[in-house]
Amino acid sequence: MSEKIYVGVDVGGTTVKLGICNSDGTLLQTYEGPTEVSKGPDAILHNIAQYVKLIVEESSYEWSQVAGVGIGIAGFLDIPNGIIKNSPNLNLNNIDLKGFLEKELNTIIKVNNDANVAALGEAWAGAGRGIANCVMYTLGTGVGGGIIIDGKIVEGFQSVAGELGHMAIVPDLEAIQCGCGKMGCLETVSSATGIIRMAKEAVARGDRTSLIEVDHIMAKDVLDAAKAGDEVATRIVNRAAYYLGRSMSMMSVILNPEYYIIGGGVAKAGDFLFDQINEVFEKYTQEASKEGVKIVPAVLGNNAGVVGAAGLILRG
Amino acid sequence: MSEKIYVGVDVGGTTVKLGICNSDGTLLQTYEGPTEVSKGPDAILHNIAQYVKLIVEESSYEWSQVAGVGIGIAGFLDIPNGIIKNSPNLNLNNIDLKGFLEKELNTIIKVNNDANVAALGEAWAGAGRGIANCVMYTLGTGVGGGIIIDGKIVEGFQSVAGELGHMAIVPDLEAIQCGCGKMGCLETVSSATGIIRMAKEAVARGDRTSLIEVDHIMAKDVLDAAKAGDEVATRIVNRAAYYLGRSMSMMSVILNPEYYIIGGGVAKAGDFLFDQINEVFEKYTQEASKEGVKIVPAVLGNNAGVVGAAGLILRG
């Protein structure tokens, strides 16, 4: 058995998820263990290395088949050198993750940020399989992004490309401040957090909406209310979709990707959200830039991270 | 003499410009001849092939040293296949330029659009020499763009990436319709045409400006008046600079390039324009995305086209 395998690691604040993929990006085996952030940097690094050894050991594959280990992690990175400059979630600063794991595992190590890695997972083996140029939006607490050109992640000069949630897409007059400090970022309106904020504002204003009966409004409540015909909720979801569509129009004249892939919790709203986004994209995008372009839902769900991390070895 | 040489061809509506470059992008020899658009497609294609043969023949290099011929041309292209889908300037439709020249010249042929090629020229051997990730804006009649990532042109799914002049950056309330049919494109405010339009509107409104004495207002008149302290002209130039700066902020969260290179006639305004752009870019761009980023003037002038076209062979 000489088939090469690719190990992907998705390092989260609570759990480290791992997967073994073949060269097609098919997930052959998974594993997960606690990150143990409270025990500090050494413990986290040790855990990652241990889990990689364990997933391979527990599989039917030999260590000699491992072509490399890819890691996806949230935070500011120096991607080419695999250094974590600052990961607030994990309380890691200036950690040479690539260097540590190369020594510990004696194989090729690639490190990239979680949003880029999810985009690569979808582009390699998910909704964008076979598509060279994709842009992914992950609509969660924030709006994450990842750009794939000619099959590879666009990293940027300082490893901060693909921060699509921080496109200043909301006009100044309507803009509110983002967590990043700047005004009018996409994630102020199109993230779960943005949707919840707009819903709470509507309730506080006394707008006639069924959301007034919800104790702790979640994005799903707003999406469900909109689907059920609540006008206020519909307006909120349409606003989230509008700025996503506008940002894709902008992206299409810049990069002219073939697919936009939308993942994350908010994307579960399905056609209701996608139809709106499509309508806005159609309206605002130049003919030449939108010809043949598709806006599609992500398909890998929580596996996008481990699959994409594994993909870093072939596509990093 | 076995040094490889790279021939670049910049096909314009009036003139075909040619250059021979070495592998550093140094321009060793130039040539130019009439395009002869009025004689039709066959004549244009024949001329291009003839001029390539002539520039090599008239040089101290042998045809055997030619590593390839790159062509920059305005219009809608199928870049990978080197097909001109539609070039209104040259009245060319569905022309297999690459196929024709391969047969005629028996060497590697690469075709790309003029704005992309100018960006590659500057990135390869001009203001961005040694810089892997650059975005170029050419401020002329329109606003042209080209994006270089990891040293290569971003072409896009339908060969229409880098259309930076059509970023819908002007908010709807202030937006006017662009020649492309969409509203609020960057080139409605930051091109020479946009600057002239705003100046004419100011004069028509009766604004107090020295421009009222100019018969046929050109962009240079507005830039000169602004430099001389004319308030109305200053406001116009600042507006052009403002949206350029905002578009670069947007670009920085998307692609995080290291250099923005600005060329074209309007860029000749120099520090007056660049200072304004820098101020806006500073204000609106996130720390991480702007760290170490430079906004620089193009240096190759009209040679960017031939140099970049030659560069297609190494970087295309």
Q: Pick from A159, A250, A255: which is nearest to B156 by CB?
A: A255
- The pLDDT value given to residue A316: 73
From first to last of its 316 residues, what are the pLDDT tens digits of chain B?
Answer: 579 999 999 999 999 999 999 999 999 999 999 999 999 999 999 999 999 999 999 999 999 999 999 999 999 999 999 999 999 989 999 999 999 999 999 999 999 999 999 999 999 999 999 999 999 999 999 999 999 999 999 999 999 999 999 999 999 889 999 999 999 999 999 999 999 999 999 999 999 999 999 999 999 999 999 999 999 999 999 999 999 999 999 999 999 999 999 999 999 999 999 999 999 999 999 999 999 999 999 999 999 999 999 999 998 7
What are the chain B neighbours of A293 within 8 Å (beta carbons)? 157
- Spell out the alpha helix ranges (H) of chain B: 41-57, 97-105, 114-125, 187-190, 192-205, 219-227, 231-254, 271-284, 287-290, 304-315
pLDDT tens for each residue of A225-260: 999 999 999 999 999 999 999 999 999 999 999 999
Instruction: Say if residue A271's pLDDT is above 80.
Output: yes
Are B173 and A172 an interchain contact pair (Cβ–Cβ within 8 Å)? no
Residue of A nearest to B284 (CA): A182
Are B254 and A161 an interchain contact pair (Cβ–Cβ within 8 Å)? yes
Instruction: Say if residue A186's pLDDT is above 80.
Output: yes
Tokens of A288: 């030449």
Which residue, chain included where needed, has tokens 């910049």? B10
Are A289 and B160 an interchain contact pair (Cβ–Cβ within 8 Å)? yes
pLDDT tens for each residue of B177-227: 999 999 999 999 999 999 999 999 999 999 999 999 999 999 999 999 999
Which residues are A134's β-sheet partners? A148, A259
Q: Pick from B173, B249, B251: which is nearest to A254 by CB?
A: B251
Are B171 and A167 an interchain contact pair (Cβ–Cβ within 8 Å)? no
- What ipTM is given for this predicted complex? 0.95
Are B156 and A257 an interchain contact pair (Cβ–Cβ within 8 Å)? yes
A160 touches chain B (CB under 8 A): yes
Are B256 and A182 an interchain contact pair (Cβ–Cβ within 8 Å)? no
What are the chain A neighbours of B280 within 8 Å (beta carbons)? none
- The pLDDT value given to residue B291: 95
Residues 28-87 of A with CB under 8 A from B: 76
Task: Compute the average pLDDT of residues A42-68.
Answer: 97
Q: How many CB atoms lie within 10 A of CB A285?
A: 23
Local structure of B295: helix, strand or coil: strand
Task: Compute the average pLDDT of residues A137-155.
Answer: 96
Tokens of A153: 């992640």
- The pLDDT value given to residue A1: 55
- The pLDDT value given to residue B89: 86
Interface test with B, best of A135, A160, A293 (most B CBs within 10 A): A160
Cβ neighbours for A144, distance < 8 A, ≥ 6 positions apart: A114, A115, A118, A136, A137, A138, A164, A165, A264
Are B157 and A286 an interchain contact pair (Cβ–Cβ within 8 Å)? no
Are B154 and A149 an interchain contact pair (Cβ–Cβ within 8 Å)? yes
Residues 129-158 of B with CB under 8 A from A: 132-133, 147, 149, 154-158
Report CA dihedral (A35, A38, A42, A47) to the nearest 10 degrees: -20
- The pLDDT value given to residue A2: 78
Q: Pick from B160, B253, B291: which is nearest to A256 by CB?
A: B160
Residue of B nearest to A132 (CA): B157
Are B181 and A286 an interchain contact pair (Cβ–Cβ within 8 Å)? yes
Residues 92-131 of B with CB under 8 A from A: none
A249 touches chain B (CB under 8 A): yes
> Pick from A45, A53, A74, A57: which is nearest to A309 by CA?
A74
Interface test with B, best of A112, A113, A157 (most B CBs within 10 A): A157
* Integer Cα distance of A148 and A124 in angstroms: 10
What are the chain B neighbours of A256 within 8 Å (beta carbons)? 155-161, 163
* Integer Cα distance of A229 and B193 in angstroms: 47
Report CA dihedral (A47, A48, A49, A53) to the nearest 10 degrees: 100
CA Rg value for chain B:
20
What confidence tier does A89 reach under pLDDT thresholds 50, 70, 90?
confident
- The pLDDT value given to residue B1: 55
Residues 264-293 of B with CB under 8 A from A: 284-286, 288-289, 291-293
Could you please report the per-residue DSSP string of A60-119?
SS-GGGEEEEEEEESSEEETTTTEEEEEGGGTEEEEEHHHHHHHHH-S-EEEEEHHHHHH
Write down all domains in chain B, each with its CATH number in brackets: 5-123+303-315 (3.30.420.40), 130-298 (3.30.420.40)
Cβ–Cβ under 8 Å, residues A9 and A17: yes
Q: How far is CA B21 from CA B26, B107, B198, B314, in A?
A: 5, 16, 41, 11
Task: Compute the average pLDDT of residues A63-88.
Answer: 96
pLDDT tens for each residue of B138-148: 999 999 999 99
Are B254 and A181 an interchain contact pair (Cβ–Cβ within 8 Å)? no
What are the chain A neighbours of B248 within 8 Å (beta carbons)? none
- Strand B259-263 with B294-297, pairing: parallel
What are the chain B neighbours of A162 within 8 Å (beta carbons)? 254
Q: Pick from A172, A251, A291: which is nearest to B254 by CB?
A: A251
> Is the full-model pTM beyond 0.90?
yes
A95: left (phi over 0), alpha (psi -120 to 50) or beta: beta
Are B158 and A284 an interchain contact pair (Cβ–Cβ within 8 Å)? no
B175 touches chain A (CB under 8 A): no
Q: Pick from B250, B285, B292: which is nearest to A157 by CB?
A: B292
pLDDT tens for each residue of A108-129: 999 999 999 999 999 999 999 9
- The pLDDT value given to residue A263: 96
What are the chain A neighbours of B246 within 8 Å (beta carbons)? 168
Task: Compute the average pLDDT of residues A15-43.
Answer: 97
pLDDT tens for each residue of B243-258: 999 999 999 999 999 9
Are A163 and B292 an interchain contact pair (Cβ–Cβ within 8 Å)? no
Residue of B nearest to A290 (CA): B158
User: How distant is the Cα of A86 from the closest Cα of chain B, in angstroms?
Assistant: 12
